[in-house]
Structure 1
């Protein structure tokens, strides 16, 4: 009985994975670099199987490290080490909170995340609004976080958000930064945004990847494979860098 049920679940899982793959096969062909982002919600991950995923090559993985001024993702340390062990390009993101000081949040992220050469630039995940803080003040607060983190890691952070927040808070501002946009309702993010700063597109939150038992976010890099390297912390001697000494924006007090 147990064996029959197990076999049935495997067949059902395989069916939905195949169905999902067929829905996004055109994106696998259009974009050469794909990756995932994870947090404690994905629970146990078999990283070796992630690296062997067949529908598309999983080249990179962003993982949640921190939130607010004190929260730590319970799986971050495990994911951080395990993803490196299978040679995935890894990155760490901070979930921004309006209820904590941006300075405290930046320092919290720095205390938790040790980035090395080859890792992806830090990510600020900004996807919620505040009814008590103005848009102008919110932009100033975001800039504080970005500047502190940029000064520490010597590379410009990436800003993650959704299309609504991007249009309301960010578009036309933060012109020196790259954006990672979540939008599941468009077939072509490049056509919708028409913005060269958008370099990553999270096109589904219901992806299926080998080694992960839950749905997972899937992302595409907007550009050629060699351009992807510009999102990574340079190796010694490399000329690829998104950080320019002496050009850090002044933190607004």
Structure 2
């Protein structure tokens, strides 16, 4: 009896991910809102094809787009992606790749100079995943500078993107009040992190129509009503 119960539990656990040959990956089907994140490495994207691809109940509803990195660097495809995603009717979000060796405020100004947010957009995102040898306290201070500067400008609380290990080791309690977009691969139910999270990057090797390269896949941790509440008014 115990063996049968354990087997049923294992089947249920595995059932949270279903293999979709069209996407080239296992997809967590117990989440209803799916999306991707892109940068210049995906090159020219046909966003209408991305939007129109539907396999079973899985269809892309949002996209995070790399906007800036460090000081004075804008992603080569940001302006094109930013416009085309909106034209295709997908929810869009912009992210900044953080260099902890640089001023947080100056990096925030780089992002602000590149990104005009509109109603219906996702909040701005700080992508912080490397220390570059900077001590943890200084890294946290510079990240807080970025977050506060961006929040003061757009009047919306930014999202933090990072991976589970980096969050636990370097960010921890100081940033628990921010919405979290967390990367954790090869998990079959949810990312293994102690705090609440909003987005989960569950794969870095998906396929979708309209993109020639592999691409990161994400899910939103909530229903359509909760997703709309997160969007900028």
Q: TM-score, normalised by structure 1?
A: 0.80
Check if 1:134 corresponds to 2:135.
Answer: yes
The CA distance in 2 between the partners of 1:194 and 1:21, in whole Å, is 29
Q: Which consecutive unaligned segments of at least 5 residues does structure 1 have?
A: 1-16, 235-253
Residue 179 of structure 1 aligns with which residue? 180
- Indicate whether 1:102 and 2:104 are aligned: yes
Distance 2:217 2:161 in 1: 14
Query: Deviation of residue 142 (structure 1)?
Result: 0.5
Aligned to 1:207: 206
Count of residues in correspondence between the two structures = 213
* Structure 1 position 84 matched with structure 2 position 86: yes
Give me the whole-angstrom Cα distance separating, in 2, the residues matched to 1:47 and 1:165.
Answer: 32
How far off is 1:22 after superposition?
A: 7.2
Preserved CA contact (<8 Å) 1:124 1:159? yes
> Counterpart in 2 of 1:69?
71
Q: How big is the shift at 1:217? A: 0.4
Partner secondary structure for residue 57 of structure 1: strand
What is the distance in 2 between the residues matched to 1:117 and 1:94?
A: 19
Task: Kindly report the root-mean-square deviation, in angstroms, between the aligned alpha carbons of the 2 structures.
Answer: 1.6
Aligned to 1:147: 148
Q: Distance in 1 between matches of 2:47 and 2:21?
A: 23
**CA drift at 1:189:** 2.3
SS at match of 1:160: strand
Rounded Cα–Cα distance in structure 2 between residues aligned with 1:152 and 1:201 = 26
1:46 aligns to what?
46
User: TM-score scaled by structure 2?
Assistant: 0.87
Distance 1:146 1:161 in 2: 14
Q: Which of the pair is proportionally richer in strand?
A: 2
CA offset at residue 226 of structure 1?
1.0
Provide closer, same or farther for how the CA distance between residues 23 and 111 of structure 1 changes in structure 2, counting only shifts above 3 A: closer
For residues 23 and 211 of structure 1, the distance between their equivalents in structure 2, rounded to whole angstroms, comes to 17
Task: Tell me by how many angstroms 1:18 deviates.
Answer: 4.9
